[in-house]
Homo-oligomer: A and B are copies of this chain.
């Protein structure tokens, strides 16, 4: 494996090729900078209509970037020629809502009735925040973003229903308005915050005890700001205990050919 590859400057197709060949197997943050990375949810066709409708009805937590044709692993809309069975570094296989395996390649699990959904992830809007000199605490602290189950009900669709999961970033008071503006430009990666301030107003008892991820420090003069989180569709789909569901492993995303800036309003 050549040590001197500059992963930041890889083209998305080059990065996917290295992932496919098993050269790149770790988290994708920092690879092919400037290109949009996506969450994966793969489900049998019989659940695809309800899932697509759920996403349409809940665009903030479920911003869909692409949907494959039934039985095709190629996400033509965002990465022509890619193969979703091999081009993600790590996958999770869930059966009836239980994690069964974590693998680097899902060709053995592939079925002709699978539909793959690619959903926008927060990497894109965090980059926009950083470019605006708005601090992103969990990145500073080298942690996972803290995530909380709220009392905000999603709009149900067929078998899918449940509460919205949000991620929280502490923002200095004087930058809150700018943080709203910056993230509003990116509706296809969660967009504007869903809540600013008091966690109890959306059913969060304690910021110190996130339901997923790690707690982060909130400094004096900072306000907790909450964005809809891509964990929501996974959590909702899991609750329905589908026979089989395949997702990416956390942090191991699919790298699309879309440039982040092309997603902006």
Task: Select A64's contact among B56, B155, B157, beta carbons within 8 Å.
Answer: B56
- A69 cross-chain contacts in B, Cβ below 8 A: 157-158
**Interface-side segment among A14-22, A47-55, A146-154:** A47-55
Q: Report the Cα distance A49→B43, complex, angstroms.
A: 14
- A101 cross-chain contacts in B, Cβ below 8 A: none
Q: Does A171 contact B (CB under 8 A)?
A: no
The interface size bin for chain A is: 10 to 19
Interface majority SS on A: helix, strand, loop or mixed? mixed
Q: Does A77 contact B (CB under 8 A)?
A: yes
Chain B residue, CB-CB nearest to A52: B52
Q: Report the Cα distance A85→B147, complex, angstroms.
A: 42
Q: Does A265 contact B (CB under 8 A)?
A: yes
Interface string of A48-72 (1 = CB under 8 A from B): 1100110011000000100101100
Task: Select A52's contact among B53, B76, B184, beta carbons within 8 Å.
Answer: B53
Task: Select A67's contact among B48, B53, B67, beta carbons within 8 Å.
Answer: B53
Interface residues of A in 88-127 (CB under 8 A from B): none
